[in-house]
Structure 1
Amino acid sequence: MSDQTTTMKVRVRDRSAEAPWGVGLTNPIVRTVEISANCPVCDGPRGVPHNLNQVDDGARYSVDVWTNPCGHTDPYTAVIKEAAALRPKTDGEAS
C-alpha cells in the first residue's frame, strides 16, 4: 500500500448488523465509516462517492456508491471490515 494516509468517509449498508431474513421487519442499518482513499487491491485511487437512495420492503435509506477507476469493486462487506481494521481500538475493546 502507498505511503499516503488519506482516507474518505462513506455511508454503507451493514447487513451483518441487521436481523436475519425472515425475522421481523426490514430495518436497514447504514453506517458512516472511514476507509482508505486507495483501492485495497491495486492501491490506485478510489472513485468519488455519491448518494444513492434505496427502498427495501418500504424502508427508505441512503448510501454512497462509487466506481473505482481501476475497475476493482468494493463490496460493502469488505468496506465494513476495512473500516473496522483502520479504526483505533478503545479501552476495553477486544483487538
Structure 2
Amino acid sequence: MVIYTKKTYENKKGYLYIPVIWREEFNIHSGLEIGIDCYQNSILVIDKSLTREYKQVISNKGFLTIPHELRERLTCNTFQIIIEQKDERIILAPK
C-alpha cells in the first residue's frame, strides 16, 4: 500500500523526522544505518538497503539528516512524503 501523506520535507532544513509509527512499522530505531538514493535529481528513496549511494544514521529522536552534497543536487525545495508500506521505504517526491 502506498500512503500519500500531507507532510512535506523542506530541503533547506536538511533533516527529515520519521514519526514513531513509521519507525515501529519499518523496524527503524536510533543508531540504525539507513540508505538514501536520488533519482533524476529530484526523487529521494530512503530505506534500510545499505547498497544505496548515501548512508545515514537515525538519531535517537527519529531524525534523519539528508547529506549536504545530496541536498545541493536536488532541483526542488519542497517534497511530498510518500510511504511505501510493502517495500518499507519512504519516498520524497517534488511537490
Give TM-score, length-normalised by structure 1: 0.25
Report which of the two has the higher share of strand: 2
- Which structure's CA Rg is the greater one? 1
If asked which structure has higher relative contact order (CA below 8 Å, sep 6+), I would say: 2
Give TM-score, length-normalised by structure 2: 0.25
